[in-house]
A and B are shown apart, each in its own frame.
Chain A
Amino acid sequence: AQSVTQLDSQVPVFEEAPVELRCNYSSSVSVYLFWYVQYPNQGLQLLLKYLSGSTLVKGINGFEAEFNKSQTSFHLRKPSVHISDTAEYFCAVIMVGNSGYALNFGKGTSLLVTP
């Protein structure tokens, strides 16, 4: 079985400050990792993904994430946030097997950026 834990349900941060959204997973097999963002009343937009190769992954809107196999983590970071980054962020893991390529999501982290 696989599970995804997003350690913070809410993260308040001031504009132009750095931010880190934490994600840990548990899995007995190799994984593929994703971060999605969801703006109010919208669907999910892919921020970045890790499939293989370099453990530091760069995505859209200045976000990046680092895959740490020994700590089973995939934390999302941005050096300087904007008001427009206020949204819900979801970490997800691919399950390969009986359920095909299904995304297993964490419960989400609400990022609130204030002036």
Chain B
Amino acid sequence: ETGVTQSPTHLIKTRGQQVTLRCSSQSGHNTVSWYQQALGQGPQFIFQYYREEENGRGNFPPRFSGLQFPNYSSELNVNALELDDSALYLCASSLKLAGDTDTQYFGPGTRLTVL
């Protein structure tokens, strides 16, 4: 059973640029959630995708967008990067079943630095 993987590991961008982060979910999982973890803080929920549809969104602006593919992998896209977007971006996958609470398993994260 493979775990959650993310790419790239590290990324450096400049203000105003766009970035795409990728996540492969754990085998058998159908849900992907993305979190932003600023330095010294707990992770903050960005959004969740279930069966290729956005299933919930945190307090992040529309320039944060995502996709989930038929194989349940996912992308996080951030447009018009700002300095405050510098953070560790974590992807978590889970198996959502009707009436059940799914446990989320995290990948190692992508460290984004915006200069």
Contacts and interface: CB of A to CB of B under 8 A. Distances in A.
Interface stretch (A13-21, A66-74, A79-87, A105-113): A105-113
B42 A102 contact: no
Contacts, number: 72
A101 B48 contact: yes
If over half of A's interface residues share one DSSP class (helix, strand or loop), that class is named, otherwise mixed; here it is strand
Contact of B42 (A43, A90, A95, A96): A90
Give the interface size bracket for B toward A: 20 to 34
Given A102-B33, A102-B58, A103-B33, A49 B45 contact: no
B11 to A, nearest CB: 15
B101 A101 contact: yes
Contacts of A106: 42
Give the interface size bracket for A toward B: 20 to 34
Interface in B1-17: 4, 6
